[in-house]
Chains A and B, each alone.
Chain A
Amino acid sequence: MSDVLTVQGLTVSVRDVALVSDVELTVGPGERVGLIGESGSGKSLTALSVLGLLPEDVLAAGSVRLSGVDHELIGADERRMSRVRGRHLAMVFQEPMTALNPTMRVGDQVAEAMLIHRTRSSRRAARIAAAELLELVQLPGVMRTYPHQLSGGQRQRVVLALALANDPALLICDEPTTALDVTVQAMVLDLIMRGVAARESALLFITHDLAVVATVCQRVLVMYGGRVVESGPVTEVFTRPRHRYTEGLIAASDLESADSGPADVGLATSAPRRLPTIPGNVPPAGQFPDGCVFRNRCAHATETCATLPPWTGTPTQGFACHHPAGASDA
């Protein structure tokens, strides 16, 4: 079966400064793929270029193909892209508080998604379908409410309902639970998972939260400095990271090791141990080093790292590092 989403050589730049370089990415039918990395790693830009909704002065190049759409998405005109958006391809954004029109009833906003693409025969049918969708995200009876009457978690479920309204082949979620209370996160994640499963939609899930990726995704891509530095099945990448950045990211998220202090500080067991962090900060856009983008923060960097590390492995599982973790020469 062919992939739902195929991204090849995607480069996103603003005034000749590359923000995303050479991203290769595929999502199979019904597959749930995670895209992780720190802020500024290019995750959201990758998603927005698939959707064709980059800010005015930001340009994308490369190739993005979607199954069921017979044209290239990069550079497609508004008329063609508007037929794809919301129909074959839908997105849930990070900030639920501002994602809905404050002056329009929630039910109308969901129904509109179907009316735009004429997937329901009449206004009435669309409204009935909208009520059903809202019930599926456990919001019965909110058709006539306005967004300000709902909480953040409830609004995000409304956004999810309207994203799923036309049974898209691919749902992109960009940090959908980051702005929500922890107690609400699990519910929203569960609804996303159930929503895509019921429609056999593929899912591209963007987050910086490794625990969320582990719950939601089957496969994961790690981004840093606008490049995909490692990819593979979630269990593989999280238990045996190869790229030094992935290794650092996982160590920084590993709260268990932080709780149980290491043996060499036995004298001060009561003192809180420093949480493991990746040294340095993410450089500003366009100021990543040549060659390996991570080398200025990497403890294993050598002179060879000044050249761009080649991709090792298969297109769906591999890494780009000169000195990978777990290798004999490390």
Chain B
Amino acid sequence: MLLRLIERTAVLLVSLAVSSVLVFGFLAVLPGDPARVALGVNASDEAVAELRRQFGLDRPLTTQYFDWLGGMLQGDFGLSYISKAPIGPQITDRFQVTLWLVVTSVVIALVVAAPAGTVMAARHRQLSGLALSALSQVGVAVPAFLAGILLIMVFAVKLGWLPANGWTPPAQDPGMFLRQLVLPALSLGLVQGAVLTRYVRSAVLDVLREDYLRTARAKGLRPFPALWRHGLRNAAVPVVTVLGLQLATLLIGAVVVERVFVIPGLGSLLLDGVSNRDLLVVQDVVMVLVVAVLVVNFLVDLLYVALDPRLRVTR
């Protein structure tokens, strides 16, 4: 157990180091001088040189890299080349918004996928199971932004039940917060849920064929309690894996959905950064997203051990 923890932590640290080099490297090799971009084509060479000196862009790349990394480790994300404002507080604010959106979507995805996938597996030879399968197939094919636009058209424009866009912090107005959260979270969650349903289905189908489920039935458990007590935890292992892998897709989806619903999250910050050529903002946001994905997958790895005692190597 401890060995696995050490091993996983080492893998996490190495991945973090490598990805920080990649993120920094990609933006460094992009053509165009950030200072020139920030000041515009008409700026004088002196002004550009002054800005480069001001932001330390005239130093060697390795120095810049370690300066950036060291700052991030201390929570200092640097200053925007454009607005000259510190990036850190912006990221913290935006991160909370995206976190609400992503966590709610994951909950929706699970709430949809776990029962739907289980029913699909248990009834895989009946019409109801096949119908659900077909429906989830449709869900898999729909991109999140399209689902978002469709949801807006139906629930906001046609029926007028929910606001079409906007964001209110939960502390300010919890009711409005929830009403504005529903549609974006649904458009992300339902699509992810459809994908996840396929994995839940195959995981449960595998478990249904297991001998220990027959043992459970032979003990006197009825089919559903047998699946619930003996199957679910076993089926959870592959599903959790997929959930961890899906997080990257989910964050990409969040970037787009935040734009559709005009939500001030990390995704909007990233897109704003890209359109303003505010390269340090882009670099910081991408790094934060990468860290989030790596940390979640690290936690997923630890969750396996909790789910499957066979992974608890005691030697």
A contact set with B: CB distance below 8 Å: 51, 53, 56, 78-79, 82-87, 90-91, 93, 95, 98-104, 112-113, 116-117, 146, 148, 159, 162-163
A163 to B210, CA, bound (A): 18
Contact yes or no, B220 A83, CB < 8 A: yes
Q: What 1/0 mask marks residues of chain B from 304 to 315 whose CB sits below 8 Å from any chain A CB?
A: 000111100000
Residues of A close to B234: CB separation below 8 A: 101-103
Contact yes or no, B219 A112, CB < 8 A: yes
Residues of B close to A51: CB separation below 8 A: 218
CB closest residue in chain A, given B219: A86
Closest 8 CB pairs of A and B: A86-B220, A98-B211, A86-B219, A146-B309, A101-B212, A85-B220, A103-B233, A116-B220
Judge if B125 is at the interface, Cβ distance under 8 Å: yes
Judge if B92 is at the interface, Cβ distance under 8 Å: no
Residues of A close to B218: CB separation below 8 A: 51, 53, 85-86, 90-91, 93, 163
Instruction: Report how many residues on chain B are interfacial, defined by Cβ distance under 8 Å.
Output: 22
Q: Which residues of B252-272 have CB atoms within 8 Å of chain A's CB atoms?
A: none
B contact set with A: CB distance below 8 Å: 125, 210-212, 214-223, 229-230, 233-234, 307-310
A163 to B217, CA, bound (A): 12
Pairs A–B under 8 Å by Cβ, sample size 24: A53-B217, A82-B220, A82-B221, A84-B220, A85-B217, A85-B219, A85-B220, A86-B219, A86-B220, A98-B211, A99-B211, A100-B212, A101-B215, A101-B216, A102-B212, A102-B234, A104-B233, A112-B219, A113-B219, A113-B220, A116-B220, A116-B221, A146-B310, A162-B219
Residues of A close to B217: CB separation below 8 A: 53, 82, 85
Residues of A close to B233: CB separation below 8 A: 103-104
Residues of A close to B308: CB separation below 8 A: 102-103
> A98 and B310 in contact (CB under 8 A), knowing A53-B218, A79-B222, A91-B218?
no
Residues of B close to A85: CB separation below 8 A: 217-220
- The contact of A159 among B210, B215, B222, B223, by CB within 8 Å, is B215
* CB contacts between A and B, total, < 8 Å: 71
Contact yes or no, B220 A87, CB < 8 A: yes
A162 to B216, CA, bound (A): 10
A113 to B219, CA, bound (A): 6
Contact yes or no, A53 B214, CB < 8 A: yes
A159 to B219, CA, bound (A): 10
A86 to B222, CA, bound (A): 11
> A102 and B310 in contact (CB under 8 A), knowing A56-B125, A78-B223, A113-B220?
yes
> A102 and B309 in contact (CB under 8 A), knowing A56-B125, A93-B211, A93-B214?
yes
Contact yes or no, A103 B219, CB < 8 A: no
A112 to B217, CA, bound (A): 12
CB distance from B241 to the nearest CB of A (A): 15
CB distance from A290 to the nearest CB of B (A): 32
A103 to B303, CA, bound (A): 13
CB distance from B212 to the nearest CB of A (A): 4
CB distance from B313 to the nearest CB of A (A): 11
CB closest residue in chain A, given B211: A98
Contact yes or no, B221 A103, CB < 8 A: no
CB closest residue in chain A, given B218: A91
Contact yes or no, A82 B309, CB < 8 A: no
Q: Identify the interface centre among B216, B219, B309: most chain A CB within 10 Å of its CB.
A: B219
CB distance from B310 to the nearest CB of A (A): 5
Residues of B close to A91: CB separation below 8 A: 218
A328 to B149, CA, bound (A): 90
Residues of A close to B222: CB separation below 8 A: 78-79, 82
CB closest residue in chain A, given B222: A82
Contact yes or no, B220 A101, CB < 8 A: no
CB distance from B103 to the nearest CB of A (A): 26
CB closest residue in chain B, given A78: B222
CB distance from B282 to the nearest CB of A (A): 44
Contact yes or no, B215 A117, CB < 8 A: no
A82 to B223, CA, bound (A): 9
CB distance from A241 to the nearest CB of B (A): 33
Contact yes or no, B219 A148, CB < 8 A: no
CB distance from A108 to the nearest CB of B (A): 10
CB closest residue in chain A, given B314: A149
CB distance from A76 to the nearest CB of B (A): 13
Residues of B close to A90: CB separation below 8 A: 218
Q: A101-B234, A117-B220, A148-B309 are in contact. List 7 more A-B contacts (CB 8 A).
A: A56-B125, A85-B220, A90-B218, A98-B211, A99-B212, A103-B309, A112-B229
CB closest residue in chain B, given A56: B125
CB closest residue in chain A, given B216: A101
Residues of A close to B310: CB separation below 8 A: 102, 146, 148
Residues of A close to B223: CB separation below 8 A: 78
CB closest residue in chain A, given B308: A103
CB distance from B226 to the nearest CB of A (A): 9
CB distance from A192 to the nearest CB of B (A): 16
Residues of A close to B221: CB separation below 8 A: 82, 116
CB distance from B192 to the nearest CB of A (A): 26
Contact yes or no, A101 B219, CB < 8 A: no
Q: Identify the interface centre among B210, B215, B230, B307: most chain A CB within 10 Å of its CB.
A: B215
CB distance from B120 to the nearest CB of A (A): 15
